[in-house]
Amino acid sequence: MMMLTRKMIEIRGLLQTVGQSDQLTLPSIVVIGSQSSGKSSVLEAIVGHEFLPKGTNMVTRRPIELTLVNTPDIHSEYGEFPALKMGKITDFSQIQRTLTDLNLAVPASECVTDDPIQLRIYSPNVPDLSLIDLPGYIQVVGRDQPMELKHKINELCEKYIKAPNVILAISAADVDLANSTALRASRRVDPRGERTIGVITKMDLVDPERGASLLNDQKYALRLGYVGVVCRVPNAPSPKLFNRGNENIINAIARNENAYFGSHPEFSPDSHLDVGTQNLRKKLMHVLEQTMAASLKTTSEAISRELAEATYEYKVQYNERPISAESYLAESLDTFKHSFRGFSEQFGRAQVRELLKHELDQQVLNVLAQRYWNRPFDDLSTPLPETDPLSDLPKAAPENEIWKIKLDSSSAALTKLGVGRLATSVVASALQAQIDRLISNSRFSAHPFARQAITEASTSILRDLSYDISDELEICIKPYKYRIEVDDHEWTRGRDNVTHVLKDELKVCEGAAKKLEEQMGGKKKVKDVMAFIDRVRSGQVVLEGDGVGGAGGFSAALLQKGREAVFLRDRVDVLKMRLVAVKSKQCANKKNKYYCPEVFLDAVADKLTTTADLFLDAELLSKFYYLFPRELDSRLGRSLSHQEVERFAREDPKIRRHLDVVRRKELLEHVLKEMESLRQLEAREKRYSSGG
Ligand code: GDP
């Protein structure tokens, strides 16, 4: 018989994880009693340990679901709070402290909560039992207890004392049974007294005659009867005796009860009265087993219905597609790696080259602007030079040192720019941007945790690689810092390319000028402001101060915009002029490179690009393409615990529902199978006991 209860308690635990449904549970014994009725003492006598919260002001605020597991072969007893993951607790005073803390954690405003505390106790000295300790009924509301507390406790108890649970109604012998809150509550839900066990505590406080009559109560007759107990641990001769194990306490109580009940003939075996904690335990075991067995069928049916529902949902919503957190992660990772492979096949040397050339084109424009096209545009107070340096450019002659120095220093400005660092970081950020794009287009976009793991994988690889690669690339381009030879073919290509670059730049400047014109309020306004600025620059007008507060009837803001307009107009002029020059016959020949710095610098940029793209393709791209998928595996694969994978998969609400359905279905199938074998076991036992 023992096996049966044990198994049913296990199943009860499993069913708790399936979810809250009144029908999806096996019965338990619910302990009710008013404050000070001796409820804690009875529970502690059954467990053999003091473990329940005590104290004058200690009202139990949460139900305690107490599962006792008989474990004959363990040396030390221990308790476990499955939800808290604290491990085995062998010190029962720690269990008591934990329960106190959990109680106090319920805010006073809430009074009580129906969220139960689960506690399992494993011991060779406890029977297999499932008990629920409820907050004690309050008789008289104390000054510091809200009236609401009384109602809430009543409500909570009401919820738990429903059928098929067994009610353990505790009443003290020294209080009139008609006033017992526990019995009154029980009578409301179990008027025929079919599933209530009455416990009369403190039998030692009334005379035996009265005690015996209480146990024979006919006013509220209980089919399962009344049990009389004396649960107070007697004063021990040596307190140490009780610290060695609960068997001592259990024995001490038993000895005490035997002495008391044995000394009064009212309780002799002939009386057929049920007395003593030992009998109470036996009764509880027996009744729980009977009740559980009786509800096996209905619970099985409820589970079958629930399972049918889950199976239907699985079929209709998820097409019977199996899933686990692990398989979901593996699949998502594969898809992501596949898209990464697709990207890596498209992003190669040619794409790197394009990126780099564009970047260097901009650098060429900067150098040209600084060294050739520079006119003091920005400063209103600086007069224009006598001769425009740009107008000298077409006359630039190789014999004149100044043109040679200008071109040499310009190309040095390019080669010494730090191309190694610049090119590496341009390509690395492009790769990072691509990874971000791939993530956004993948399933991982709904998973903050994976998103971060992938981003970190790529940034860390790129950071590590970039460090050495910038230096090595810098060494590769070193020769160009000393000498640059451009052949005819390269010259022609440079001339072609820079023509495009200049045209694009021209478009950008014209576009910006147009926008400025709109902001300033039209062509005419711009013209007036620019004319004024020109007069200042040519010295025809002398500004007072530096024009900060406005001048010539124009506001400071307008003057500032005017300066930008002048700058853009001049830049447009220069670009047009240089486009004509680059297209001219002179610039067709590389011998005239001093006239045509644009072409020469473009050719230099092209050489730098060729070196860099070759190197970055070999070093950065291919290494990144090799390392990244492996890094993904290590960050999102083996190194993750089951909990982490689970947390990951559940981040996506769709997947969470899918996983829940699958889990629920599996769990219900498992429970149902266990229930089936239990019913067979039960049937066999019945046959066995009836057959003798
Ligand atoms: P609870 O508030 O219902 O949990 O009641 P307790 O178990 O804390 O008991 C209330 C008081 O009654 C305590 O002081 C116990 O020592 C005392 N008590 C409990 N059971 C007995 C008993 O069988 N006999 C006597 N004399 N006192 C008891």
Query: Which two tokens mark 187?
Result: 């009578």
Q: Ligand 1: does its nearest atom lie under 6 Å from the Cβ of 180? A: no
Q: Ligand 1: does its nearest atom lie under 6 Å from the Cβ of 40? A: yes
Q: Is the peptide bond before 164 cis (omega within 30 degrees of 0)?
A: yes
Q: Ligand 1: does its nearest atom lie under 6 Å from the Cβ of 232? A: yes
Q: Ligand 1: does its nearest atom lie under 6 Å from the Cβ of 136? A: yes
Distance from the CA of 38 to the center of ligand 1, in angstroms? 4
Most informative mutation of 31, 36, 43, 134 for ligand 1 (most atoms within 8 A of CB): 36
Most informative mutation of 31, 35, 41 for ligand 1 (most atoms within 8 A of CB): 41
Global pTM?
0.64
**Chain centroid to CA 48: how far?**
42
Nearest-CA residue for ligand 1 atom 22 is 202
Q: Ligand 1: does its nearest atom lie under 6 Å from the Cβ of 211? A: no
Q: pLDDT digits over 328-378, tens only? A: 999 999 999 999 999 999 999 999 999 999 999 999 999 998 888 765 444
Tell me how far apart the 2 most distant CA atoms of the chain are, in Å.
138
* Mean of the per-residue pLDDT values of the chain: 87
Most informative mutation of 43, 214, 232 for ligand 1 (most atoms within 8 A of CB): 232
CA-33 nearest atom, ligand 1: 3
Q: pLDDT digits over 134-185, tens only? A: 988 876 666 666 677 788 888 888 889 998 899 999 999 999 888 899 999 9
Which residue, among 352, 325, 318, has the nearest Cα to 613 in the 3D structure?
352
Global ipTM: 0.98
> Any idea of the CA torsion for 368, 374, 377, 381, to the nearest 10 degrees?
150
* Cβ proximity of 259 and 279 under 8 Å: no
Q: pLDDT digits over 529-583, tens only? A: 999 888 887 777 777 666 566 677 788 888 889 889 988 998 898 899 889 989 9
pLDDT at residue 235, rounded to an integer: 59
Half-sphere exposure of 495 (CA within 13 A, CB side): 22
Between residues 3 and 67, the one the model is more confident about: 67
* Cβ proximity of 42 and 283 under 8 Å: no
The span from the CA of 636 to the CA of 336, in Å, is: 12
Q: Ligand 1: does its nearest atom lie under 6 Å from the Cβ of 41? A: yes
In sequence order, the 6+-apart residues with CB closer than 8 A to the CB of 327 are none
Query: Which two tokens mark 686?
Result: 């019945």
Q: Which strand (E) or helix (H) includes residue 606?
A: helix 597-616
Q: pLDDT digits over 210-264, tens only? A: 999 999 988 889 999 999 999 976 554 444 444 445 567 888 899 999 999 999 9
* Cβ proximity of 46 and 129 under 8 Å: yes
Q: pLDDT digits over 485-530, tens only? A: 999 999 999 999 999 999 999 999 999 999 999 999 899 999 999 9
Q: Ligand 1: does its nearest atom lie under 6 Å from the Cβ of 349? A: no
Q: Ligand 1: does its nearest atom lie under 6 Å from the Cβ of 506? A: no
Confidence of residue 117 (pLDDT cuts 50, 70, 90): very high
Q: Which amino acid is at 369?
A: A
* Cβ proximity of 660 and 456 under 8 Å: no
The span from the CA of 140 to the CA of 416, in Å, is: 90
Q: Ligand 1: does its nearest atom lie under 6 Å from the Cβ of 231? A: yes
Query: Which two tokens mark 544?
Result: 């007072």
Q: pLDDT digits over 178-205, tens only? A: 889 999 999 999 999 999 999 999 999 9
Distance from the CA of 80 to the center of ligand 1, in angstroms? 26
3 state DSSP class of 332: helix
Distance from the CA of 201 to the center of ligand 1, in angstroms? 8
Sheet strands side by side (includes 196-201): 78-80, 117-123, 64-70, 129-133, 29-33, 166-172, 196-201, 226-228
Q: pLDDT digits over 585-627, tens only? A: 989 988 888 889 999 999 999 999 999 999 999 999 999 999 9
Query: Which two tokens mark 113?
Result: 């909560």
